[in-house]
C-alpha cells in the first residue's frame, strides 16, 4: 500500500527542462531536458512560454510515468505546473490527456511563480521567473494572486544567447563563427560564466574578459571555437532592461516590476511586495542582476521604500519543491480535480479549481 506522498506525482513542465518526482524528496527524482528547446522546433511550433505540441508532451509524459517513475497513473494523483497567462484551453487539453489517456484519479494545475514562492518558504511576494524564453512577474499577497498585476516579457535566456551571438557576429574577426558545430553550447556556457549587468553596486572587474582566468578553461573545453572577444559579455544581458536593443517593443524588467507592483497591485500590499521580490529561473543567475534591479527600482518609485531582492543561487528546483509542498501539505482532498468531477462537468471544472 502506497503512503500518501508516494501516491502523488509532481511535474514541473518547464520549457528547457522537465522535472518529475514524488513529494517528500529534496530534489526531483528525474530531470529531463525538453526537446522543445531545439531552436527549429521552438521557433516553428511553440509560441514563447506556451506549450502546443501535444504529441510531444504526451510522449514525454509516457516516458516519465512508464519508464522513469514506473507508476500506474490509475492509482496516483498528479500536480502539474504551468506558465502564468497560459491559455485556459491548454489546461483543458492537459486535463484530457491526464484523465482520459493516462487515467489519473486526481489532478491539480498550479502557476509556476506561485509554486516557486512556496518553495522559497513564503506566501507573500513578487515571484519573477526569468525562464528559457520569457520573463513572468506575478504578485502574490497572503497566497492570493492579483491577475491584473501579472506581467510578461518575451525575452529569456535563449534570447540572451542569441543576442550574444549577434554581438559577436558584428565583429568581422568572427565571420566563420556560425559554422562551428558546438557553438550553441559554447555561447550558453560563456553567458552563464561571464555575462554581467553593470551597476553602481556591482564590482564588474572580475568579469572583464581581459581579467578572467577561467576564460582559457572555457576555450579548452571547446578547442574548435575561435572567437575574438571585446565587451559582448557586458552588453548581451542589457536586453532584460532595454528590450528595444533586441527588437522587442516592451518595457524592461525594471519597469514591468514597477507597473506590476506600484500601478496594478492593491495599495496596502505594495510595501510588502517590494520587500519580497523573488528571482528564479536560469537567467536570474546573470551576474549583477540583483544589484542592477536594486539600483533601478528606487528611480521609479518612492525612495523611502525598502527593496529586498532574493536571487537564490540554487533555484533550479524551486518550482518543483514548491509543488511538492503544495501537493502534500497544502491541498485538501476537495481541492483536487477528481476524475469523476471531470467526467461529470468536463472542462469547466479545470477553471473553477486550481490556481
Q: Are residues 285 and 262 in the same domain?
A: yes
- The pLDDT, as a whole number, for residue 204 is 76
Spatial distance between the Cα atoms of 25 and 328, rounded to a whole number of angstroms: 11
Q: How many domains does the chain contain in total?
A: 2
Q: Does one domain contain both 132 and 113?
A: no
Rg (CA), the chain: 21
pLDDT in the model for residue 220: 63
Q: Which three cell numbers stand for residue 87?
A: 491559455
User: What is the pTM for the complete model shown?
Assistant: 0.90
- 76 and 142 part of one domain: no
Q: Please tell me the predicted confidence (pLDDT) of residue 38.
A: 41
Say if residue 239 is in the same domain as residue 286.
yes
Residues 270 and 328 in one domain: no
Helix orientation angle between 157-169 and 183-194, rounded to the nearest 10 degrees: 100
| Series of mean pLDDT values for 10-residue runs along the chain (355 residues) | 70 89 92 60 48 83 94 96 91 95 97 96 97 95 94 95 92 78 82 89 71 55 72 93 96 97 95 97 94 95 90 89 95 94 91 80
**Which three cell numbers mark 222?**
571547446
Q: In sequence order, what are the residues at sequence separation of 6 or more whose Cβ sits closer than 8 angstroms to the Cβ of residue 46?
A: 15, 36, 52, 53
Query: For position 3, what pLDDT does the model report?
Result: 53
Do 70 and 58 share a structural domain?
yes
**CATH number reported for the structural domain that contains residue 90 in this entry:** 3.30.420.40
DSSP string, 128-141: EEE-SS-EEEEEEE
Residues 283 and 338 in one domain: no
CA atoms in the 13 A half-sphere facing the CB of 46: 27
Same domain, 274 and 334: no
Q: Which domain holds residue 103?
A: 5-117+317-352
| Helical (H) or strand (E) element with 217 | helix 214-221
163 and 251 belong to one structural domain:
yes
Same domain, 134 and 244: yes
Are residues 192 and 266 both part of a single domain? Answer: yes
Say yes or no: 19 and 82 in one domain: yes
Amino acid at each position: 500500500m502506497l503512503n500518501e506522498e508516494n501516491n502523488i506525482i509532481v511535474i514541473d513542465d518547464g520549457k528547457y527542462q522537465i522535472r518529475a518526482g514524488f513529494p517528500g524528496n529534496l530534489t526531483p527524482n528525474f530531470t529531463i531536458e525538453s526537446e522543445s528547446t531545439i531552436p527549429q522546433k521552438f521557433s516553428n511550433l511553440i509560441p514563447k512560454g506556451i506549450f502546443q505540441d501535444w504529441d510531444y508532451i504526451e510522449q514525454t509524459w509516457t516516458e516519465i510515468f512508464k519508464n522513469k517513475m514506473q507508476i500506474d497513473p490509475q492509482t496516483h494523483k498528479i500536480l502539474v505546473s504551468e506558465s502564468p497567462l497560459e491559455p485556459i484551453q491548454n489546461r483543458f487539453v492537459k486535463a484530457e490527456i491526464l484523465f482520459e489517456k493516462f487515467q489519473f484519479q486526481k489532478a491539480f494545475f498550479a502557476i509556476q511563480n506561485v509554486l516557486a514562492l512556496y518553495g522559497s518558504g513564503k506566501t507573500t511576494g513578487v515571484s519573477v521567473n526569468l525562464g528559457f524564453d520569457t520573463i513572468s512577474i506575478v504578485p502574490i499577497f497572503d497566497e492570493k494572486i492579483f491577475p491584473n498585476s501579472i506581467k510578461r516579457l518575451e525575452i529569456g535566456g535563449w534570447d540572451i544567447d542569441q543576442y550574444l551571438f549577434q554581438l559577436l557576429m558584428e565583429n568581422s574577426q568572427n565571420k566563420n563563427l556560425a559554422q562551428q558545430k558546438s557553438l550553441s553550447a559554447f555561447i550558453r556556457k560563456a553567458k552563464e560564466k561571464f555575462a554581467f549587468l553593470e551597476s553602481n553596486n556591482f564590482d564588474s572587474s572580475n568579469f572583464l574578459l581581459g581579467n578572467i582566468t577561467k576564460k582559457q578553461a572555457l576555450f579548452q573545453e571547446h578547442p574548435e571555437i575561435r572567437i575574438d572577444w571585446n565587451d559582448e559579455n557586458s552588453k548581451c544581458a542589457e536586453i532584460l532592461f532595454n528590450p528595444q536593443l533586441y527588437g522587442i517593443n516592451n518595457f524592461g524588467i525594471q519597469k514591468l516590476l514597477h507597473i506590476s507592483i506600484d500601478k496594478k497591485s492593491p495599495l496596502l500590499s505594495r510595501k510588502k511586495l517590494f520587500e519580497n521580490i523573488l528571482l528564479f529561473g536560469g537567467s536570474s543567475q546573470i551576474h549583477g542582476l540583483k544589484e542592477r534591479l536594486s539600483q533601478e527600482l528606487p528611480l521609479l518609485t518612492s525612495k523611502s521604500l525598502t527593496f529586498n531582492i532574493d536571487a537564490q543561487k540554487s533555484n533550479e528546483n524551486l518550482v518543483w519543491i514548491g509543488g511538492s509542498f503544495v501537493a502534500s501539505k497544502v491541498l485538501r482532498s476537495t481541492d483536487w480535480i477528481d476524475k469523476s468531477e471531470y467526467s461529470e462537468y468536463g472542462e469547466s471544472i479545470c477553471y473553477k479549481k486550481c490556481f
